[in-house]
Structure 1
Amino acid sequence: MNPLAIRQFLQQALLEDVGIHDVTTELIFDPSATMQGIFLAKADGRIAGLEVVEETFKLMAPSLEFECMVQDGADVTPGTVLASVQGSARAILSAERVALNMVQRMSGIATETRNVCRLIAGSNTQIVDTRKTVPGLRLFDKYAVTVGGGRNHRFGLYDAVLIKDNHIAAAGSLTLAVERVKRGLGHLVKIEVETDTLEQVEEALAAQVDVIMLDNMTPAQVTEAVKLVGGRAVTEASGGITPANVASYGSTGVDAISLGWLTHSVKALDISLDVR
């Protein structure tokens, strides 16, 4: 992850939470008071975001000592010690909530991504994320997906072409939308088109796009579409896919499955900061 982007976000997060000062902590502890905090896993999961935790504390007080006992990508069980922080009590307690919020969310995403990847183990299908992230958290959410074993779809509207149903409707047809894109597109950018019928898949193939999204299709329809494409384009299944049905899509032969569920329905992993 870009350290400048991490720092900029965390500065705003700390400003939002701490404001001009942490009134409770400053009334209880004088500036010279010190303490040690231990991060503990309280559930099974995969850890992501320890670099973000360290940066949070360093922004609050550069003198804080932070040590990781595990690394991002580690699978842990309840009671596993993840990291420790030592130094100013005021700084640790003031940064605690932001640090926990980030590592809990990121580890939750990494854990669920890991679980979904396991559900399609043995297939050649990749699990990928979407743009359905909380504004401001996309960098962190997408990093957590990769820690869980998934891959990133486009990061934003700026780094890839994806012609969706509303583009097609407004342009008049899939073919016309692709033609307009190709007229102004550089040769290094791939074109993906969203389709929801086999007729649209055929139209996308005729337009010679690079990636065909098979949107809101049943596993049986995806299987048929993948056979129709026959390797002439990368195929991606999307729309309404969750852990409950992902295995059935993993057996279709599709190249990728994108799940907005990974980031828009995340459950934070239970992690605590205990004072020792």
Structure 2
Amino acid sequence: MDLNTPIISKIIDNWIDEDIGRGDLTRPSITEENGNAYWIAKEGGIFCGVEIIKEIFKKIDLNISSKFNISDGNQFFKDQKLLEIYGPSKSLLASERIGLNIAMHLSGISTYTKNLVNKLEGTNIKLADTRKTTPGLRIFEKYAFKCGGGVNHRMGLYDAAMIKENHIAWTDNLNNAVKKIRLNSPFTTHIIIEAENIEQAKEAVLAGADSVLLDELSPEIIQKNVQELRDLSMNSLKKEVNKNLIIEVSGINPKEISKYLIKGIDLISTSSSITKSNWIDLSMRYIN
């Protein structure tokens, strides 16, 4: 994630403007010019947000200096000191809530993701995220997902084409849908087709999908048919059929992910890291 891109810089500016607005009304009460503080973890987890927090400090006051005792993606424990900061007291106070909020949120996503990724250990299956993210925070939440060991699915409607249930309902057939997307998109465009049953999955393969997403299918049905889908892509004589088919599973209960550790599956996608994760409790303490 490049924090120097205009869109990310603008988002962080908006966070600061939202909280500080026309100015911190408590500033006149602060008599100490400079201060020392540190962040401490009130519970364990996987950390995310080092460079983001540095950018917040820099935007609020270039005189804030920070020393991080942890890197993104690293595990931390309760009562662990995560970072130390020094600078103008008023600026440290102004940066406190903004920095803690984003760190607690993103670390919660990374921690939840890591717990799911651990359940895939010993397989070739990767955990992928979705577009079900908080408006305005997608790029940060997807970064947190990666810090937890997952892989990013498409960022938006612009970097991969996914033909989902509602698209299928409003198109004449999958073959034509794929052809039209190929005709009107860069040659690098990856096409994913969501299938709600095996027959639809087979149709997706023959239509030339790069990925087939098996949505809300039982592990028994997937186990029985996944190799057939793979063979169909490998043995088809149709030139548009992708021989390197990616098979993805989605719409499953995260608590039942162990039932889907099936040979032949490449990805399991989940929105739960963003929609079901809890913030990790962190706090800033001042050193007198």
TM-score bucket of the superposed structures, by smaller chain: over 0.9
Give the whole-Å Cα distance in 1 for the aligned partners of 2:12 and 2:62: 14
Structure 1 residue 252: Cα displacement:
5.1
Give the total of aligned pairs. Answer: 273
Structure 1 residue 79: Cα displacement:
1.1
Could you tell me whether the CA contact under 8 Å between 1:42 and 1:271 is conserved in 2?
yes
Q: Which runs of 5+ in 2 are unaligned?
A: 234-244
What amino acid does structure 1 have at the position aligned with 2:279?
A
Verify: 1:239 aligned to 2:241, yes or no: no
Could you tell me whether the CA contact under 8 Å between 1:39 and 1:83 is conserved in 2?
yes
2:135 aligns with 135
Q: What TM-score, normalized by structure 1, do the two folds share? A: 0.95
Structure 1 residue 125: Cα displacement:
0.3
Verify: 1:20 aligned to 2:22, yes or no: yes
Verify: 1:273 aligned to 2:250, yes or no: no
Give the whole-Å Cα distance in 2 for the aligned partners of 1:134 and 1:29: 35
Give the whole-Å Cα distance in 1 for the aligned partners of 2:203 and 2:248: 16
Q: What TM-score, normalized by structure 2, do the two folds share? A: 0.91
Alignment of 1:2-41 (within 5 A): 2-4=2-4, 5-24=7-26, 26-30=27-31, 33-41=33-41
1:169 aligns with 169
Structure 1 residue 46: Cα displacement:
0.7
Could you tell me whether the CA contact under 8 Å between 1:6 and 1:52 is conserved in 2?
no
1:43 aligns with 43
Could you tell me whether the CA contact under 8 Å between 1:223 and 1:254 is conserved in 2?
no
Q: 4+ runs of 1 displaced by more than 4 Å? A: none
What amino acid does structure 2 have at the position aligned with 1:181?
I
Structure 1 residue 42: Cα displacement:
1.4
Q: Which runs of 5+ in 1 are unaligned?
A: none
Give the whole-Å Cα distance in 1 for the aligned partners of 2:250 and 2:125: 13
Alignment of 1:47-86 (within 5 A): 47-86=47-86
1:96 aligns with 96
Alignment of 1:148-227 (within 5 A): 148-227=148-227
CA offset digits 1:13-44 (Å, max 9, x no partner): 010011101112x13214x6211121111111
Q: CA RMSD in A?
A: 1.4
Verify: 1:259 aligned to 2:270, yes or no: yes
Higher alpha-carbon deviation: 157-166 or 183-192: 183-192
What amino acid does structure 2 have at the position aligned with 1:29?
I
Look up the SS of the partner of 2:162 in the other structure. Answer: strand
Look up the SS of the partner of 2:35 in the other structure. Answer: strand
CA offset digits 1:117-154 (Å, max 9, x no partner): 10111111000111111011111111111111110000
Structure 1 residue 266: Cα displacement:
2.1
1:122 aligns with 122
Give the whole-Å Cα distance in 2 for the aligned partners of 1:203 and 1:21: 60
CA offset digits 1:37-94 (Å, max 9, x no partner): 2111111111110111111111110111111111112111101111111111111111
Q: Percent identity?
A: 32
What amino acid does structure 1 have at the position aligned with 2:97?
R
Could you tell me whether the CA contact under 8 Å between 2:213 and 2:250 is conserved in 1?
yes
Give the whole-Å Cα distance in 1 for the aligned partners of 2:274 and 2:222: 23
Look up the SS of the partner of 2:170 in the other structure. Answer: helix
